[in-house]
Amino acid sequence: MFKNILVNALVNLGDVVLTTSALALIKRHFPDTRITMLVKPAVADAVIDNPVVDDVMILDYRAKENSFGKMRALVKEIRRRQFDLAISFDRKLRPALITFFAGIPRRVCPSKVFDDNKSRVTLLYTDVIEISHDLNKTLQAETYQEIVRKFFGIDGHETPRFPKKPSPVANALLSRLPPAHFKIALCVKGTFPLKTWSKEYFAEVVAGLRQSYDAAFFIVGAPNDRAYADEVIEAVRGQWSGVSEKNLSLAPCPLPLNFCGETSLTDLAELFRRADLFITVDTGATHIAATTGVKMITIYGCTSPDRWHPINPNAVALTSREPCCPCTCKAEECPTYPKPACLQNVTPAQVLDAAKKFLPSV
């Protein structure tokens, strides 16, 4: 049996989190197996001290730097560690070449993982695992688990894992919130426009919740989301002004605080553990939040919850299920852009209805 496994996951944050479900499945059946993950620097915080990961290697590649020298050094280090198995969850050329030249005797990849296209990269592997199910109708975490189920001849299902660490940063950020009975987290910006629900819709939701609940709000995201989050906050200000003009008895609405770029990934997870509700678009933070069990509502545009639903019994997925979804077109290619139907047809009223099922009356 394999004792020293290198796992390639040079993918984005959400996928890295989801791949840990496959590692958990390996650990369940082979608890003495040592698992090392090869990841990009931006996602390292998701796997360092992760309960199903024993060690982490970072591939810090930038096109303008000496990539050949870095590749050679990494191959040398992998050879030194004497892995007996490599598993790829991404089918990318670079890790395939690295593990090939490092001489790892067994190298496993899937026949497909993100799309149905064939790839010559599979020629660099000793074992190609046939994935026969419909990717768009299967949770992505199950695709990752199917790779290891078929290779090892095991069964079962597992959930993603995430590190849990004390977070003075989360404590400090939450101390900035105004006193309120509920703390509600928001993630307002996706990685591209066809995932990003409108600022006006988010503002309606905040105003609607504030009318019904004693709640404080904060927005999370990456550093480059900060300016957009400020625009959402201004939209909330405008929305609440209209609401309060109609009902002069309403107290002023504390505006959401902008925490974008102020947390590590493990700080972010701790914020979710301390929140009463998380309202989000489909992004990497969605899958981090799912590992904490927070009550959450995810809004889907061009992607499908059939594939990307958070693995969390406290999660609700909202989608309009447009005939054209899921799609991979650029935003400007969408026939309903700049107000794509897939996002416009998920309404603030739907989000408010879902939220009210999660938040008890006080």
User: What does the pLDDT read at residue 64?
Assistant: 57
Q: Quick check: 132 pLDDT over 90? A: yes
Phi first, then psi: give them for residue 143, nearest 5 degrees: -65, -45
Mark whether 252 and 216 lie in a shared domain: yes
User: What does the pLDDT read at residue 78?
Assistant: 97
Residue 163 placed within a domain: no
Alpha-carbon radius of gyration of the chain? 22
Q: Quick check: 194 pLDDT over 90? A: yes
pLDDT (mean) for 198-216: 95
User: Rounded CA gap, 271 and 292, in Å?
Assistant: 10
Q: Quick check: 225 pLDDT over 80? A: yes
Higher model confidence: residue 18 or residue 248?
18
Token pair belonging to 322: 């447009």
User: Rounded CA gap, 168 and 183, in Å?
Assistant: 18
Task: Single out the residue of 210, 195, 111 nearest to residue 151, CA to CA.
Answer: 111
Residue 162 placed within a domain: no
Mark whether 116 and 221 lie in a shared domain: no
Mark whether 80 and 118 lie in a shared domain: yes
Q: Quick check: 160 pLDDT over 70? A: yes
pLDDT, tens digit, 9 for 90 and up, residues 234-254: 999 998 888 777 776 777 788
Quote the mean pLDDT of the chain. Answer: 94
Residue 157 placed within a domain: no
Residue whose pair of structure tokens reads 């590649």 in the numeric block: 61
Mark whether 180 and 119 lie in a shared domain: no
Angle at 22 between CA 80 and CA 286, to 5 degrees: 115
User: What does the pLDDT read at residue 159?
Assistant: 98
Mark whether 299 and 245 lie in a shared domain: yes
Q: Which domain holds residue 253?
A: 169-358
Residue 72 placed within a domain: yes
Q: pLDDT tier at 317 (50, 70, 90 boundaries)?
A: very high
Mark whether 193 and 305 lie in a shared domain: yes
pLDDT (mean) for 179-203: 96
Higher model confidence: residue 72 or residue 320?
320
Query: By percentage, how much of the chain surpasses pLDDT 90?
Result: 86
Q: pLDDT tier at 150 (50, 70, 90 boundaries)?
A: very high
Q: Quick check: 66 pLDDT over 70? A: no
Task: Single out the residue of 127, 139, 26 nearest to residue 86, CA to CA.
Answer: 127
Task: Single out the residue of 69, 68, 18, 80 nearest to residue 43, CA to CA.
Answer: 18
Task: Single out the residue of 191, 202, 260 nearest to residue 232, CA to CA.
Answer: 202
Mark whether 64 and 106 lie in a shared domain: yes
Residue 272 placed within a domain: yes
Angle at 267 between CA 31 and CA 306, to 5 degrees: 65
Report in angstroms the alpha-carbon separations of 182 from 177, 185, 209, 326: 11, 10, 10, 34
Residue 240 placed within a domain: yes
Higher model confidence: residue 170 or residue 60?
170
Domain count within the chain: 2
User: Rounded CA gap, 319 and 328, in Å?
Assistant: 16
Sign of the CA dihedral running 232, 262, 227, 286 = negative
User: What does the pLDDT read at residue 62?
Assistant: 67
Q: pLDDT tier at 65 (50, 70, 90 boundaries)?
A: low
User: Rounded CA gap, 325 and 237, in Å?
Assistant: 33
List the CATH number of the domain containing 77: 3.40.50.2000
User: Residue 187 in 3-state DSSP?
Assistant: strand
Mark whether 56 and 94 lie in a shared domain: yes
User: What does the pLDDT read at residue 1?
Assistant: 85
Sign of the CA dihedral running 43, 49, 51, 57 = positive
User: What does the pLDDT read at residue 60?
Assistant: 83
pLDDT, tens digit, 9 for 90 and up, residues 268-294: 999 999 999 999 999 999 999 999 999
pLDDT (mean) for 119-130: 96
Mark whether 15 and 145 lie in a shared domain: yes
User: Rounded CA gap, 120 and 202, in Å?
Assistant: 44
Q: Quick check: 360 pLDDT over 90? A: no
